[in-house]
Each structure stands twice: as C-alpha cells, then as structure tokens.
A and B are shown apart, each in its own frame.
Chain A
C-alpha cells in the first residue's frame, strides 16, 4: 500500500467514525431536535445530489425539482396511511415512489428536450407549480390528495418488525426515533453518493459533461442527446422520489405547502452554492444550507433581545433576508461555489481571464 492510499483509507475511516457517532454527539450536546435537523440535512443531501445530476452534470437548469420529491412523498403517503386505509410496507412504497418520480422525470423531460437555459428553467418551474396546484385541488370530486389539509398519520418505516417511529432500547440505551432514521438516511445517502460518483466517472457521466459543455459537439461525437437528457432527468428524479418517500414517513404528515417553489430554489441554491457538478461540494452546500438557517433561527431572537432589549426583526424574516443576501453575495464573490471541482475552477479562471482581456480590448 502506498502512502497516498493509506491517507485515503485514513480519511475514509475517520469520516465513517464521525458519521457513526454524530447523532449521539449532537443529541448529547444540543438535544434531539438537532438530531432531527441532521436527519433533514441528510434528506437534503439526497435531494441536492439528485438535482446535481440534472443541473451539475448535464447542465439542464431545473427549477421544478421539488415536484419529484412531492411525487415520492405522496406515493408513500397515499399507500401507507389511514387515508385510503392501505398500509403497504416501505420496500414496496419507496421503490414505487422512486419509479413513479422517474416516470414524471421522463414526462417532464420529453417535451422540453429542445429547450435550454432560462427557458428550461421557466418550464420546469411551471411543471412544479402544476404538480402543486393538482395536489392542492385533487380533493374533489374524488378525494385523492386531501387537498391543502394534506395527509396525516403516515406509517413510520418498519425494518425487521421494528418500527423506526418509536423509541427502542438496545442494551439499556434508548434510541429515539430520530436516531433510527438517522442511520437509515445515512445508509441511503451513502448509496446515493456512491451512485453519483460511479455515474460521474462512467461513460454516461462523461456524456453528460459533453452535453453540458457543447451539445452540438456532443451529438457529433455520437452521443444520443435525447436519451442522455432523459436519463439525467429520470435518474435525478429517482433520488428525489426516494427522498420524498423517506420524508413522508419521517414527518408522518405531508401537505402541498412543503413542495413550493421556494423549496426548489433552496435545493438549486444548495447545488450552486456548494459547487455544481462536484459531489463533495454539493454535500457541503446541502448541509450548510440546512444547518445554518436553523442556527440562525436559534441565534437571531436571543441576539436581538440581548443587544437591543427587544425584537426588532422577526427571526423568520431575518433568516430569509440573510438567505437571500447570502445567495447574492456568494454568487458575486465565488460564482463557482464554495467547493468547486478542480475542472470548474479552472473554467472559471479562464472565463475571468477572457473577460478581463475582452474588457481591455
């Protein structure tokens, strides 16, 4: 074994240990509500990695990604809750939701094959809104989605007869449900991350990059643009669907409100702020954008009370304000994201040099 691989194995093991004990450290220090936030961070990592396939690898700007999350969540919600009285196990509902989301991905992808850039963004945004409007209104004449009230009492996931929704005791230590879900989410996140890496370095991944850089040249090189675009849409939607199903069972409640445009924007921001097309960057972006707003929620209120003696800005308001400002400032300061891939970083440097020289001309 070389020193280099030794180092890699060391980093890998350190990460594994940190991730394994993380919920206990967080839970011990800040309480279970923070473990819950960590769980959500993992869900968002899955979503952001799904969107990264579409936006980061294939360069197709998708502003309606949350629709696939919604499809996964509603599939799970409808098929394992008292709403229809159906209680299918998760190993049927989650794959079904993912498959259905992938089909919706194809459904969206097929008509927009010819569109690029901003046009694609607007159409996907419209698609996301259409899905949301349907979820909101499909309670009449036949009640399918229960309209704005959403679906309640969704079954928790059962693994080997153990419900992840309850607190269980192993060897005298009680595990709250947020811990159990943490390990399930972690497992699936790792699967999605590995899938992302394998895809990126495969023939398909290279085809996506070619498509992103220049679709005409890619077509000339023998890449089937249509199929490769559809594949990007459906694979991205697939992981969105999985995350949606997990969300439904974890939360136990879903309503159209959770699937608004702002959520799509949030996920896109995770991908772009983290570093488009760079898996570690996207993971960093997703974790940052989940955790930081929560920290702000806890900090802004007390901070104002301490410094001014009263609330000047409503914390929720201040949180969104800072989020918006952060988006603007980040894009102005680091347009390639927090942790861009080496390749993109180089591209940006070239762009900058080219732009500078163009200005001098």
Chain B
C-alpha cells in the first residue's frame, strides 16, 4: 500500500509538470492546428538558462536564499524562452502559413535540431547538475514521502494552470485567442489581429515551458541538452490524451499520464513476474497514446471529431 501511495505522489509531481508543458502544445494546436515540435527544446532552454544564472550568481559570491536564486533564474529564463518561442514562430511557422502541412513540421524539426546543437555549444554534451541550493526536506504522508519542493511544484503548477484558464476565459486576449482558434479569418474580420494572437500564444506557451523546464531540472537535479525530446513527446501525449486544443484536457491528460506512468513503472515488475522491469517506463506513454488515438481519437475531453486531419 505504501508503494501505491508513493507512486501516486510521484505520478502527481510528474503529471503536473507534463500538464504545464502540454498546455504549450495544446494552445498552439488549438489556434494553428500544428504540433510545435520545437516546444521540448524551449523547455530545455528554460532549465539550462536558469541553472546558468544560478551558478553564475553563486560563482560571483552572491549569497541569497535558494528560492530567491531560483526566482532570479526564472526571471531571466522565462523572458528568454518567450523570446525564443516568438522567434520559432516567426522563423519556422509564419512564412509557411498556408503551405502544405509537412513543410512547417520539417522546419520545426530542423529548428529543434539547431536549438539542441546551440545548447551543446553553450553548455556542452554532459549532464549539468542543478546547484544544491534548495533543501530537500522530506514530508511523510500516509507512509509515503514527498519533498517540500515537490509539493511546491504541484501547487505552483495548479496555480499557473488555473491562472491560464482564467485568462483564456475572462480576458480580452483570451477571447481573441478563442475566436482565432475557432476561425482565424472571421476573427480577423472582427478586428482581432491574428498575427499578434498567434505570437502571444507562442510566447505564453514558451513561458510556461520555461517554468516547467526548471521544475524538471529541480526534480531530477540535472539538465541535459537532449532532455526536451522525451519530455516534449510525453507532454504531447498528455495533450492528446486530454483532447488536443482543450486546455482543461491538457491538465487532466498530464496528471493522468503522470499517474499511469509511475504506477505502471512501479508495478510492471511484479505484474509480469520480473520479465519486464521499470526500464520499460517510457513505453507506457506511447502505448497510452496509441490506445487513445485508436479508441477515442478526440481525447478524453475533446469534442467529437470523426477524423483528425
């Protein structure tokens, strides 16, 4: 029972990070109908920039409490990643709007390779440890342990996601985004500047991605130039699971995927009598993705659409 509860907690931490990244995918998909393949790289840059800022500051002899340092790192990383997201849209997507669907996919893959290589140029090929500035106090709940940091991650994710949902539902920008996602041409006729809205979507999604990247780095205590690929793929799976284009769906899908993954990894060994071990953890995300797309292509909360084009 302890293991069960422990895996649930791990799953919630993982799932809330997935959800935060999934929001970036789902927002872009909702508005443009495209998968932003380079989003994982934005997440990676968020983590890397924050680590650099923190180690730079501590290297200069600045003595500040850990959380303040992380906040300063985020204050650099979030605008940096927003700029990156804006640039990605301008370079890889805007010139190809209205072109065949494959073209933006290829440019995004190309940009994703470029960003990884730039990361290698700046930070090298090795794993970069997250500076030991945060205390890893463990809280024990019902026999399962969770660090304070992980609690903060979950709470922060929920707050950010709630804020985003409020923004989309209540503000003028949110209304313009919803209008653009329904019909860009008509939204344009109603006085919405579609280009600005699309840029804003990329910028907001990238900002969320940067925060998620820092969470990943603190949770695993390290960052790597290739970390964006797998986490991006899983977050995309989460977005599809929840119903792509649906913000609430991305959150639900992210949490669910996190739970499935950690419960799956925790129990696959005992269930299969040791034939498969937790090294198959990464398979669950893809199996879930394939099963969802076969049986419920619109996702858990998505609208009914017969064919996904």
Residues of A at the B interface (CB closer than 8 Å) are 55, 61, 111-112, 114-119, 121-123, 125-127, 129-130, 133-134, 136-137, 140-141, 261-262, 265, 268-269, 272, 276, 313-314, 317, 320-321, 323-328, 331-332, 335, 348, 351, 355, 358
Give complex CA distance A321, B112 in Å. 10
- Inter-chain contact B96/A116, CB cutoff 8 Å: no
Binds A, one of B55-63, B76-84, B157-165, B283-291: B283-291
Give complex CA distance A277, B245 in Å. 31
- Inter-chain contact B113/A323, CB cutoff 8 Å: yes
Given A133-B283, A320-B117: A115 touches B308 (CB 8 Å cut-off): yes
New A-B contacts (13) at CB < 8 Å, excluding given A111-B294, A118-B101, A321-B121: A119-B308, A125-B233, A126-B233, A130-B283, A137-B279, A324-B111, A325-B114, A327-B107, A332-B95, A335-B96, A335-B99, A335-B100, A355-B99
Return 20 A-B CB contacts under 8 Å, by A number.
A61-B105, A114-B297, A114-B308, A117-B308, A118-B105, A119-B240, A123-B290, A126-B233, A127-B290, A136-B279, A137-B276, A272-B106, A276-B102, A321-B114, A325-B114, A327-B107, A328-B111, A331-B103, A335-B96, A335-B103
Given A327-B110, A327-B113, A328-B111: A126 touches B102 (CB 8 Å cut-off): no
Give complex CA distance A331, B96 in Å. 8
Which of B104, B116, B118, B293 gathers most chain A CB within 10 Å? B293
Question: What size tier do the contact residues of chain B reach?
Answer: 35 or more
Give complex CA distance A123, B289 in Å. 7
CB neighbours (8 Å) of A133 from chain B are 279-280, 282-283
Give complex CA distance A55, B275 in Å. 37
CB neighbours (8 Å) of B173 from chain A are none
- Inter-chain contact B35/A118, CB cutoff 8 Å: yes
Chain B residues touching A, majority SS: helix
Chain B's nearest CB lies how many Å from the CB of A293?
Answer: 12
CB neighbours (8 Å) of B297 from chain A are 114-115, 119
- Inter-chain contact A126/B286, CB cutoff 8 Å: yes
CB neighbours (8 Å) of A125 from chain B are 233
- Inter-chain contact A141/B275, CB cutoff 8 Å: yes
- Inter-chain contact B91/A328, CB cutoff 8 Å: yes
- Inter-chain contact A112/B96, CB cutoff 8 Å: no
In the complex, the 9 A-B pairs of residues with the closest C-beta atoms, listed nearest first = A327-B110, A324-B113, A126-B286, A324-B114, A328-B110, A321-B117, A355-B98, A335-B103, A331-B107
Give complex CA distance A351, B114 in Å. 28
Closest to B114 in A: A324
- Inter-chain contact B290/A117, CB cutoff 8 Å: no
Chain A's nearest CB lies how many Å from the CB of B90?
Answer: 11
Given A118-B101, A119-B297: A325 touches B110 (CB 8 Å cut-off): yes
CB neighbours (8 Å) of B117 from chain A are 317, 320-321, 324
Give complex CA distance A314, B122 in Å. 12
Given A129-B282, A326-B110: A122 touches B275 (CB 8 Å cut-off): no
Pair count A-B, CB < 8 A: 136
CB neighbours (8 Å) of A136 from chain B are 279
Is B65 an interface residue, CB under 8 A from the partner? no
CB neighbours (8 Å) of A265 from chain B are 109, 113
CB neighbours (8 Å) of A119 from chain B are 240, 293, 297, 308
8 A Cβ contacts from B164-216 to A = none
CB neighbours (8 Å) of A332 from chain B are 95-96, 107
CB neighbours (8 Å) of B276 from chain A are 137
Interface 1/0 per residue, B85-97 and A, CB below 8 Å: 0000001100110
Is B309 an interface residue, CB under 8 A from the partner? yes
- Inter-chain contact A123/B274, CB cutoff 8 Å: no
Give complex CA distance A201, B127 in Å. 52
Closest to B120 in A: A317
Is B236 an interface residue, CB under 8 A from the partner? yes
Is B135 an interface residue, CB under 8 A from the partner? no
Closest to A119 in B: B308
Is B128 an interface residue, CB under 8 A from the partner? no
Is B267 an interface residue, CB under 8 A from the partner? no
- Inter-chain contact A115/B293, CB cutoff 8 Å: yes
- Inter-chain contact B114/A126, CB cutoff 8 Å: no
Closest to A355 in B: B98
CB neighbours (8 Å) of A269 from chain B are 106, 109
CB neighbours (8 Å) of A112 from chain B are 290, 293-294
8 A Cβ contacts from B263-307 to A = 274-277, 279-280, 282-283, 285-287, 289-290, 293-294, 297, 307
- Inter-chain contact A351/B100, CB cutoff 8 Å: yes
8 A Cβ contacts from B235-259 to A = 236-237, 240
CB neighbours (8 Å) of B53 from chain A are none
CB neighbours (8 Å) of B307 from chain A are 114, 116
Which of A118, A125, A137 gathers most chain B CB within 10 Å? A118
Give complex CA distance A265, B113 in Å. 10
CB neighbours (8 Å) of A335 from chain B are 96, 99-100, 103
Is B229 an interface residue, CB under 8 A from the partner? yes
Give complex CA distance A317, B125 in Å. 10
Give complex CA distance A269, B103 in Å. 10
Is B144 an interface residue, CB under 8 A from the partner? no
